[in-house]
Amino acid sequence: MNTIGQDFDRHAASIRAGFAMMSPEPQRQRFNHNITMTEPASEPVTEPAESTDQRVLRESGILGKYDLRFSGLADVTKLTGDILTKKDKARLAELQVALDRLASEIDIAARATLNPYKIVAAAPLGELPSDEAMAVGIAGDEGRLFRKKTAKAAAVRFFEEECRPLVLGIYGKAAAILEAAILERHKAEQAAFEKFSMTYYDDDSETIYRPSPGLIRMAARRRQLLDSEIPPSSPPSLRSAFSGIVDF
């Protein structure tokens, strides 16, 4: 081969090498016949949690959507008359006495006299006011507010630690009684509606049974009990917590 041909071959080889550097061929991987193909694991499908509203309606057999959280609450004390034992009533009365005492402390703190002339007028004639009355007057509005908040904090702590567990236990018993009562009333209402429909409605009428407002209020009360919702009150009170639920 002459010199021109050799130069041409070297030039062509140089061009091929340049293109190879700019766009290298992908590396070929050997196929492994022993690899087992597996399908990607599917994520587990989680069902949405059932709300207490849905549970109460389902267990009662009530069809339709009702917002039990904003419905009126039934007074069910006639159904729960035998729920409390003598021991329960005695314990509740004891706790309520303590709560009443703490409530009176809150009231006294809120009405503490600060005016010097009123403090003197409340003291025995010819004697100075007590050291406690003097201290309250000297502390002024800030001291009165502090004493009130302290008494309220003591009442809240007492209720949370001593009363709440007992209240929730009774709520659970009342909810169980109410479940049976709701189911019985629902069946009675349906039977009455069907009998009424057979007498007064034609076969072509599209009237359907709807639960009475009283039944919905009973369901709303059961939802409150299952959710352990103690009605807020200030100061805390067992009478308020059991209002419309049990008498003690």
State what percent of residues in the chain have pLDDT above 90.
54
Query: Which secondary-structure segment (H or E) carries 146?
Result: helix 131-158
Q: The pTM is what?
A: 0.73
User: Across residues 138-159, what is the average pLDDT?
Assistant: 93
What is the rounded average pLDDT of the residues 2-25?
Answer: 58
CA proximity to 74, closest of 145, 149, 154, 178:
178
Q: Please choose, from the candidates 164, 136, 152, the residue with its C-alpha nearest in 3D space to the C-alpha of residue 103.
A: 152
Q: Cα(73)–Cα(224) distance, rounded to whole angstroms? A: 9
CA distance 46 to 168: 30
Contacts of 154 (CB under 8 A, 6+ apart): 102, 105
CB 178 within 8 A of CB 79: yes
pLDDT at position 64: 84
Average pLDDT, the chain: 85
Dihedral over Cα of 74, 223, 220, 222: its sign: negative
How many Å apart are CA 206 and CA 208, to the nearest integer?
A: 6
Give residue-wise pLDDT tens across range 159-192: 999 999 999 999 999 999 999 999 999 999 999 9
**81 DSSP 8-state letter:** T
